[in-house]
């Protein structure tokens, strides 16, 4: 088991006289002190513009910003640091691909019912805007996929596939390598929503051969408002920009009454305007922190906690697990319903109020899959998600709370 | 509070959310689909003593605290 709890100051906090049990990392991960310190260092020692100002503080800011991109590239094993574009979050990364990738008029986009709204809606809107075809692959009721459905959906007209690598509801890990192989064979690019996968599993974008990967720093111990779009350099070079402006150009000439921009290569052409330097520095530090601990160790640690949680939840009357219980194809989270409690929000409220156990409840921004399961948004599902700083005591208190809830409501 | 004011009996969480999603409350409930924001607001009203909640069979029941 990992023992990193001392790195996370918030775990010292007590609420209602109890230490907190934070099981909502699939929404927002806690921050290790070194991430906070790295960001503070920027604000305290060199709070200047990166890539613009030539003075000492500007140079230090530029160096830290560049170094952070390199740290993140190493985290993903990207071939070039330039393949990592700083964004606000995975949502923005996915919108960049959906909005800016050049697609022919007869192109088809393929996505699934298991996507977070951020992984489906940008592509739904792109298809609507340009009159493109879009086909939706239905996940199975346990959150897994039948690979034959992807073979059927991805045809020669498909140019883009958007798929969630690890579901934030079921935790199931998609067979992405197989889907990428199918897509590439048929001439389509693949965008992977790695918001849930990257923080919890080793991710090697070169080995996976994925074309785009969208990541949120806030789910991997980094700051809020920071994300990354990984893209193969050839695709980024060919892509239009989502935003343009300062720092995206090598020259902007004025000739014959026209303004003529010459854009820089990636990553600069995508990073318009003053950047969130502190955020990027924090994201790079978080990537370095997780790399140092080891993603294989983190994956193993989470699965050991998940195994205990799943086994005990399955033994409880009234509890139904949403998604597969095969931990070998699962990220460290479990969503569930409790049939003696009408709304999942009541589960979360009870655990929070009575046990200081913090879980998520609702539809988790995955409306289509909840509707597919026949679960109304007003009922929703509860979700407990584990990360490197959780331990068996956390799981035990969560289970104790669940038993008390069932006893009180059944 | 409007929903509870119009209710004759305590309401469950999902009953409140269902009512909140109806056309009648469309103007005061713009972000109720998942219910998260709604529940946070309701909890704050409990803290202020304006509404009460009690855990019963099936989950929480919400009720307006009515003055004498």
The per-residue pLDDT for A55 is: 95
Domain extent at residue B39:
2-64
**Contact: B36, A408; criterion CB under 8 Å:** no
Set of chain A residues whose Cβ sits within 8 Å of the Cβ of B33: 363, 367, 377
Distance separating alpha carbons of residues A127 and B9, to the nearest angstrom: 47
Q: Considering Cα of A394, then A395, then A397, then A402, what sign does the dihedral take?
A: positive
pLDDT of res. A284: 98
- Is B21 in Cβ contact with A343 (below 8 Å)? no
Residue of A340, A376, A378 with shortest CB distance to B58: A340
Chain B residue numbers touching A118 (CB-CB < 8 A): none
- Closest to A392 (Cα-Cα) out of A307, A326, A287: A307
Cβ neighbours for A27, distance < 8 A, ≥ 6 positions apart = A219, A360, A385
> In the predicted model, what is the mean pLDDT of residues B17-43?
77
Please classify residue A390 by burial: count the beta carbons closer than 10 Å to its beta carbon, then call 0-12 exposed, 13-18 middle and 19+ buried. buried
> Which conformational region is residue A209 in: left (phi greater than 0), alpha (psi within -120 to 50 degrees), or beta?
left
How many beta-carbon pairs below 8 A join chains A and B? Answer: 60
* pLDDT surpassing 90 at residue B17: no
Our CA-based measurement puts residue B21 at a distance from the nearest CA of chain A, in whole angstroms, of: 9
> Does B60 sit within 8 Å of A363, measured CB to CB?
no
d(CA A163, CA B14): 31
Q: Is A278 helix (H, G, I), strand (E, B) or coil?
A: helix
Q: Which helix (H) or strand (E) holds A362?
A: strand A360-362
Provide the β-strand partners of residue A335: A322, A383
Q: Under an 8 A CB cutoff, do B34 and A410 touch?
A: no
Q: Cα dihedral angle (B12, B18, B24, B29), rounded to 10 degrees?
A: 90
pTM score: 0.95
- What pLDDT does B30 receive? 65
The pLDDT value recorded for residue A270 is 96
What is the model's pLDDT at position B31?
A: 63
Entry field: residues in chain B: 68
Best interface-test mutation with A: which of B55, B56, B62 has the largest number of A CBs within 10 A? B55
Chain A residues inside the 8 Å CB shell of B59: 341-343, 346, 409
Strands (E) across A26-157 are located at: 84-87, 108-112, 133-137
Which residues on A lie below 8 Å from B15 (Cβ)? 342
Flag if A342 and B13 touch (Cβ within 8 Å): yes
Measure CA A148 to chain center: 26
The CATH architecture one would assign to domain A5-30+295-409 is: Alpha-Beta Complex (3.90)
Query: What does the alpha-carbon distance between residue A68 and residue A41 come to, in Å, rounded to a whole number?
Result: 14
Nearest residue on chain A to B58, judged by CA atoms?
Answer: A341
| Calpha distance B38→B41 (Å, rounded) | 5
CB A342, CB B14: distance < 8 Å? yes
Residues 6+ apart with CB under 8 A from A320: A336, A337, A338, A339
Q: Is omega for the bond preceding A327 within 30 degrees of 0, making it cis?
A: no
Rounded Cα–Cα distance for residues A395 and B68 (Å): 45
Selected residue of A117, A340, A345 to mutate for chain B interface (largest B Cβ count, 10 A): A345
A365, B35: Cβ pair inside 8 Å?
A: no
Looking at the structure of chain B, the number of domains it has is 1
> Tell me, what's the pLDDT at A346?
95
Q: Which of A74, A89, A177 is nearest to A163 (CA)?
A: A177
Give the residue among A357, A349, A401 at the shortest CA–CA distance from B14.
A349
Nearest Cβ partner for B60 among A340, A346, A364: A346
Confidence band (pLDDT; 50, 70, 90) for B3? Answer: confident
Taking the CA of residue A340 and the nearest CA in chain B, the distance in Å comes to 5
Q: Which residues of B touch A (CB under 8 A)?
A: 12-15, 17-18, 21, 33-36, 39, 43, 55-60
Pairwise CA distance, residues A211 & A228, whole Å: 14
| Complete DSSP assignment for A183-222 | HHHTT-EEEEE-TTTTTTS---HHHHT-SEEEEEGGGTT-
Q: Using an 8 Å Cβ cutoff, are A351 and A95 in contact? A: no
Give the residue among A285, A280, A286 at the shortest CA–CA distance from A387: A286
Model ipTM?
A: 0.87
Per the model's pLDDT, the better-predicted residue between B5 and A18 turns out to be A18
Query: What element of type H or E holds A335?
Result: strand A333-338
What pLDDT is stored for residue B22 in this prediction? 82
Whether pLDDT at B68 is above 70? no
Angle at the Cα of A335 from the Cα atoms of A1 and A227, rounded to 5 degrees: 75
Locate the domains of chain A by residue range. Answer: 5-30+295-409, 34-292
**Tokens 């655990």 sit on residue:** A351
Tokens matching residue A209 = 């051969």
Whole-number pLDDT of residue A368: 95
CB–CB contact B14 A340 (8 Å) = no
Distances (CA, A) of A19 to A13, A295, A394, A399: 6, 27, 10, 16
Please, where are the H alpha helices in A250-366?
Answer: 277-293, 295-315, 344-355
Contact A378 B14 (CB under 8 A): yes
CATH of domain A34-292: 3.40.640.10
Residues of A identified as active-site: 365
Rounded mean pLDDT for each run of 10 residues along chain A, 410 residues in total: 93 95 98 98 96 91 97 98 98 97 96 97 97 98 97 98 98 98 98 98 98 98 98 97 92 96 96 96 98 98 98 97 95 97 95 97 93 92 98 98 97
CB A14 within 8 A of CB A20: yes
Q: How far apart are CA B36 and CA A97, in angstroms?
A: 29
Q: Is the pLDDT of residue B33 over 70?
A: no
Range with lowest mean pLDDT among A196-210, B13-27, B42-56: B13-27
Report which of A202, A204, A203, A228 is spatially closest to residue A216, judged by C-alpha positions.
Answer: A228
Of A18-27, A330-339, B1-10, B34-43, the least confident: B34-43
Question: Which residue of chain A has the CA closest to B13?
Answer: A343
**If pLDDT is split at 50, 70 and 90, which confidence band does B21 have?**
confident
């Amino acid at each position: 088991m990992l023992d990193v709890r001392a790195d996370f100051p918030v775990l010292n906090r007590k609420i209602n006289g109890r230490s907190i049990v934070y099981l909502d990392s699939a929404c927002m991960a806690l921050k290790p002190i070194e991430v906070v310190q790295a960001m503070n260092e920027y604000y305290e020692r060199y709070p200047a513009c990166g890539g613009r100002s030539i003075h000492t503080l500007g140079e230090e800011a530029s160096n830290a910003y560049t170094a952070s991109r390199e740290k993140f590239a190493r985290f993903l094993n990207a071939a070039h640091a330039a393949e990592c574009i700083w964004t606000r979050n995975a949502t923005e990364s996915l919108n960049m691909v959906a909005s800016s990738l050049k697609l022919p008029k007869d192109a088809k986009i393929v996505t699934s019912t298991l996507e977070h709204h951020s992984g489906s809606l940008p592509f739904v809107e792109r298809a609507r805007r340009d009159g493109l075809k879009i086909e939706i692959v239905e996940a199975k009721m346990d959150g897994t996929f039948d690979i034959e459905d992807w073979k059927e959906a991805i045809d020669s007209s498909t140019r883009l596939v958007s798929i969630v690598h690890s579901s934030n509801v079921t935790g199931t890990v998609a067979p992405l390598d197989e889907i990428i192989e199918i897509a590439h064979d048929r001439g389509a690019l693949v965008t992977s929503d790695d918001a849930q996968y990257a923080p919890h599993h080793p991710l090697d974008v070169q080995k996976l051969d994925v074309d785009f990967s969208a990541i949120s720093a806030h789910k991997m111990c980094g700051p809020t408002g920071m994300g990354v779009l990984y893209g193969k350099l050839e695709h980024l070079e060919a892509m239009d920009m989502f935003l343009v402006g300062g720092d995206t150009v090598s020259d902007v000439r004025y000739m014959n009454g026209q303004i003529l921009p010459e854009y820089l290569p990636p990553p600069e052409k995508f990073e318009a305007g003053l950047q969130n330097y502190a955020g990027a520095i924090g994201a790079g530090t978080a990537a370095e922190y997780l790399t140092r601990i080891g993603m294989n160790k983190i994956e193993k640690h989470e699965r050991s906690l998940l195994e205990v949680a799943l086994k005990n939840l399955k033994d409880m009357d009234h509890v139904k697990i949403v998604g597969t219980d095969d931990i070998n194809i699962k990220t460290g989270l479990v969503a569930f319903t409790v049939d003696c409690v009408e709304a999942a929000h009541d589960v979360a409220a009870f655990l929070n109020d009575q046990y200081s156990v913090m879980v998520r409840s609702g539809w988790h921004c995955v409306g289509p899959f909840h509707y597919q399961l026949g679960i109304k948004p007003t009922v929703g599902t509860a979700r407990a998600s584990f990360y490197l700083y959780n331990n068996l005591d956390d799981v035990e208190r969560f289970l104790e709370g669940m038993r008390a809830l069932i006893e009180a409501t059944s | 509070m409007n929903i509870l004011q119009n209710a004759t009996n305590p309401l469950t969480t999902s009953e409140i959310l269902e009512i909140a999603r109806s056309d009648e409350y469309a103007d005061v409930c713009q972000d109720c689909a998942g219910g998260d924001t709604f529940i946070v607001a309701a909890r704050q009203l409990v803290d202020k003593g304006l509404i009460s909640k009690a855990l019963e069979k099936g989950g929480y029941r919400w009720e307006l605290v009515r003055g004498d």
